Structure 1
Amino acid sequence: MQYATAAAPPTWWSRLLARVSRAEDVHVPRGRPLRAPPAWHDEGRPPSLTELYRAWRLDMVRLALFLVDDLHTAEDVVQDAFAAVCRAYGTSLAGLQDPGAYLHTAVVNASRSVLRRRRTARAYTPPHQGAGPPVDEGLLLAEEHREVLDALAGLTRRQREVLVLRYWSGLTEAQIAQTLGLSRGTVKSTASRALDALEKRLEASR
């Protein structure tokens, strides 16, 4: 996966990223959510499963949170994604060419499965309330973050995935297209429509 700078996000999204990045003292530069490449990237070697987990877990939880709108579920999604990596490649990850891309795809697919099950479950049961919030949930679910999550929930699944991968994960259009199995043109048009819809929803909520 390329560690390129993504297009500058809208101002309100930059504020959201700054707020989310304060959880667990992880720094996210304004307008540029990707961190520096991990050590194994510069050394030209595959990471171990432990290294991959330490480097990517928090980013993946936050990605999943934007998609499933529930921190406990997001953590489960990410655990499942890492378990899938281990089943497919073992703890040495031999043969895994692009760990970041694999994780993004695994988290998106697992989130889709969660949302499908949730739609079925909510037809006859109330949403599950977590037993107890983790230490950083107050920051993650602060008022501005909640407004954006609520607005994101009103978008189509594809629109939500494209926006989150673009402005939170900082992926390029080509990377998003590969992750979601879409053409670059579809990614571009979806992002444009999704931003317009999201801006309108946020304005309406104020």
Structure 2
Amino acid sequence: MNSETAARAPAPPDRGAELADLYREHWLALVRLAVLLVGDRESAEDVVQDVFSRLHGKRPDALSLAYVRACVLNGSRSVLRRRGVAARAAAPGPSGEPVDSAETAALLGESRQEMLSALSRLPRRQREVLVLRYYLDLPDADIARMTRVRESTVRSTASRALDRLQRELGGQA
């Protein structure tokens, strides 16, 4: 290839810029997704930051929003797994409830805090399905792909989760 041909060839896309754009456009929504899954903003921000740092230098096909959401979901699962291991290893405390920071508690209204608390008590799969369905407005087919279950399982899991939330919140859900 001579210098004239090289000058006319389109430049390869800047993957760093694509990743930066994805980060700027979707960071807040991804953090909110992770908060709903892990229960606190600090851990959620860590999950999202870790996902983007791992994506740096990855293949171009890894830069889709769906892939990043799946990574955030998996990162949130890892946080919850580590918490479970730590909780089993630690001596039992006065209550099994997670303690939110004062800032987080102040930012959340009482009813929202009650809903988040009830959501955090759901089994992992039920919590994930509700968050993906009602927070991200994803169709059952996408949820099934992300969670690696059948669509019918997504529907039945969502139904059971909503019934449980309704019982826990006294019919306010």
TM-score (normalizing by structure 1):
0.66
Q: List alignment gaps of at least 5 residues for structure 2.
A: 1-14
Count matched residues.
152
Q: List alignment gaps of at least 5 residues for structure 1.
A: 1-45
**Deviation of residue 152 (structure 1)?**
0.8
Matches for 1:178-197 after TM superposition, within 5 Å? 178-197=145-164
Q: How big is each residue's C-alpha offset from its partner over 1:102-143, in whole Å with a ceiling of 9 and x where there is no partner?
A: 11111110111101111121231676775x84xx8743x221
Q: Is the 8 A contact 1:68 1:74 kept in 2?
A: yes
Q: 2:50 aligns to what?
A: 80
Q: 2:87 aligns to what?
A: 122
Q: 2:10 aligns to what?
A: none
Q: 1:160 aligns to what?
A: 127
Q: 1:66 aligns to what?
A: 36
Q: Distance in 2 between matches of 1:166 and 1:158?
A: 12
Q: Distance in 1 between matches of 2:170 and 2:100?
A: 28
Q: 1:9 aligns to what?
A: none
Q: Distance in 1 between matches of 2:153 and 2:74?
A: 19
Question: Which range moves more in the overlay, 118-127 or 80-89?
Answer: 118-127
Assess, with a 3 A threshold, how the Cα gap between structure 1 residues 171 and 105 changes in structure 2: closer, same or farther: same
Q: Distance in 2 between matches of 1:79 and 1:62?
A: 13
Q: Is the 8 A contact 1:163 1:191 kept in 2?
A: yes
Assess, with a 3 A threshold, how the Cα gap between structure 1 residues 82 and 143 changes in structure 2: closer, same or farther: same
Assess, with a 3 A threshold, how the Cα gap between structure 1 residues 129 and 104 changes in structure 2: closer, same or farther: same
**Deviation of residue 85 (structure 1)?**
2.1
User: Residue type of the partner of 2:72?
Assistant: V
Residue 104 of structure 1 aligns to a residue whose secondary structure is helix
Q: 1:54 aligns to what?
A: 24
CA RMSD of aligned residues (A): 2.5
Q: Distance in 2 between matches of 1:192 and 1:78?
A: 29
Q: 1:144 aligns to what?
A: 111
Q: Distance in 1 between matches of 2:113 and 2:159?
A: 22
Sequence identity of aligned pairs in percent?
46
TM-score (normalizing by structure 2):
0.78
Higher Rg of the two aligned structures: 2
Q: Distance in 2 between matches of 1:69 and 1:203?
A: 21
